[in-house]
Amino acid sequence: MEVFHHRREIKLRVVSLKKAGKSIGFVPTMGALHAGHISLVRHARQQNDVIVVSIFVNPTQFNNKEDLVRYPRTIDADLLLLEKEGCDFVFIPDEMEMYPEPDLRVFSFGNFDKVMEGKFRPGHFNGVAQIVTKLFDTVTPDRAYFGQKDFQQLAIIRKLASDCRYPVEIVACPIVREADGLAMSSRNTRLTPEERQHAPLIYKTLLKAQETGRSVSPESLKKAVIDSINDDPFLQVEYFEIVDDKTLQPVKSWDKPGTKIGCIAVLAGKIRLIDNITFNS
């Protein structure tokens, strides 16, 4: 496994491999790797000749500077995990490498970034687009792998790749969960023991909502989910929306064609947890 710190070096290496007919699978991360990230690496390994993983805590996607400072950084442990998984290249740039000067680009996502995460984290997705385009330009992957836990981000990256005409396939990988159902996240390590004990209620409530499904209106189901989680003193719902999986816009009726996704963000103390679930047609 080779580790690169500069864009030019890894770009040249990838170019030579692609000229030799090798396919490139790319997994962008912010580090603090867990089984969810490793599942992305394994999916990439099944479909590509060469695997590249990036580790970079991107400052432009944090609208909360305290969250940026506290974001877990575990480079040594991350490298051990990636080597064990047979990763070929790891790209670990510093901030100056990725942003030698301020990135003033502003991206347009239509209504995709006006709801849910975009509503509560202004500027977040523009920062995501800034770093993803820089990474795509550097690694030039054939396929890039993202987890479905960040469902809105996945939809926006697909739109970004299409709008910018990147010749890359965006591959969505299933949510990986702890034994008690909590969606895996690097932020889980920052939960207190009490918060961690109560956090699985999020997924349990989503499962119950999935079972209830069309027997009540989307609006009634939304209220039931929010009330159930907010009854727990350790948890506070920031939003729960039932949206169309293509447009990300809230649905008012189950009769509207298309797949419906229930997307949620919950505060456990100061830690923000997100999850989602698909409603059966």
Q: Which residues are tagged catalytic?
A: 37
Could you tell me what percentage of the chain is helix, strand and coil, using 3-state DSSP and rounding each to the nearest 5?
A: 45, 20, 35
DSSP assignment string, 7-70: HHHHHHHHHHHHHTT--EEEEEE-S---HHHHHHHHHHHHH-SEEEEEE---GGG-S-HHHHHH
Residue type (1 letter), 70? R
| Burial tier of 73 (Cβ tally within 10 Å: 0-12, 13-18, 19+) | middle
Nearest to 86 by CA among 21, 16, 145, 2: 2
| Residues sharing a CB contact under 8 Å with residue 143, sequence separation 6 or more, in sequence order | 23, 24, 25, 26, 44, 47, 48, 168, 169, 170, 171
Coil/strand/helix, residue 247 = coil
Cα 193 to the chain's mean position, in Å?
24
The answer to whether residues 39 and 176 touch, using CB atoms and an 8 Å cutoff, is yes
Coil/strand/helix, residue 124 = helix
Taking the C-alpha atoms of residue 278 and residue 246, their distance in angstroms, rounded to an integer, is 13
Nearest to 238 by CA among 196, 194, 277, 271: 271
